[in-house]
Amino acid sequence: MGRLELLPAVDMQGGQAVQLVQGVAGSQKVFGEPLAAARRWQAAGAKWLHLVDLDQAFGRGSNALIAAEIVAELDINVELTGGIRDDASLERAFATGCKRVNIGTAAVEKPEWAASVLKEYGERVAIALDVKDGKLATRGWVQTADDLDLALERLNQAGCQCFVVTDVNSDGMLRGPNIELLKHVCARTDAQVVASGGISSLADLASLANLTRIGVRGAIIGTALYLGNFTLEEALGLGGDYGD
């Protein structure tokens, strides 16, 4: 088994920690205050937190103050994503003190801006490839746009060092990660790849760890943790180096 970073997710909506099914608004299960969830994952041994502002992603508000509070409270790395589409939202995200931001929609809709951001910030910016039926999903996954391979080629040329790859059809469904999609992306980039969507069991994590040899560096875990399919301590106990 290779070395795999684990990133427990805290998805924020209306000031609460939630988990959606396939990113569909209204499908959420609510799991209390985001800060409490973040503290729980830190206490369990996480070295990274994947923090998502769903309201900003859907263009209906912001949880920026909560995000800033979480980053200030934690002693671990925070990756922040959701609705980061221009200089102003990028500056607000970095102002929280987060270690890394993920850009999704803007990488498709504003390729020149995304390229300039990658050039300026390097490894502090990851590109979120949210894939739905072979196309990139944007605007909170309610629209589809670029062909995946064309986007990968463009973003490789722009110098992207990390892709966060989500199979939208698997997200929140607990039916296992899309291994073929991850292999497809890894074969087309030298950048690090973080897997997201569908993780349901420790066996799924072991399968992803087997992909570290081809470029999968990390795994974002959400619903399975919140529903108690396994604990973060059990996942970390599989072994490996989960980031610093």
- Nearest CA to 12 out of 79, 61, 65, 63 is that of 63
- Which residues contact residue 98 at a Cβ distance below 8 angstroms, ignoring those fewer than 6 apart? 51, 67, 71, 78, 79, 80
pTM score of the predicted model: 0.89
Q: Convert the pLDDT of each residue in 60-119 to its tens digit.
A: 899 999 999 999 999 999 999 999 999 999 999 999 999 999 998 888 889 999 999 999
Catalytic center residues? 11, 130
Q: Is residue 242 part of a domain?
A: no
> Residue 83 belongs to a domain with what CATH number?
3.20.20.70
Q: Convert the pLDDT of each residue in 201-228 to its tens digit.
A: 999 999 999 999 999 999 999 999 999 9
Which DSSP helix (H) or strand (E) runs through 172? none
- Cα-Cα-Cα-Cα dihedral sign, residues 224, 6, 209, 126: positive
The alpha-helical segments, DSSP class H, found in the chain are 34-43, 54-57, 64-73, 87-95, 105-109, 111-121, 148-157, 179-186, 202-209, 223-226, 232-236
The number of distinct structural domains making up the chain is 1
Q: Is residue 244 part of a domain?
A: no
Q: Is residue 221 part of a domain?
A: yes
Range of the domain at 20: 5-236
Q: Convert the pLDDT of each residue in 55-67 to its tens digit.
A: 998 888 999 999 9
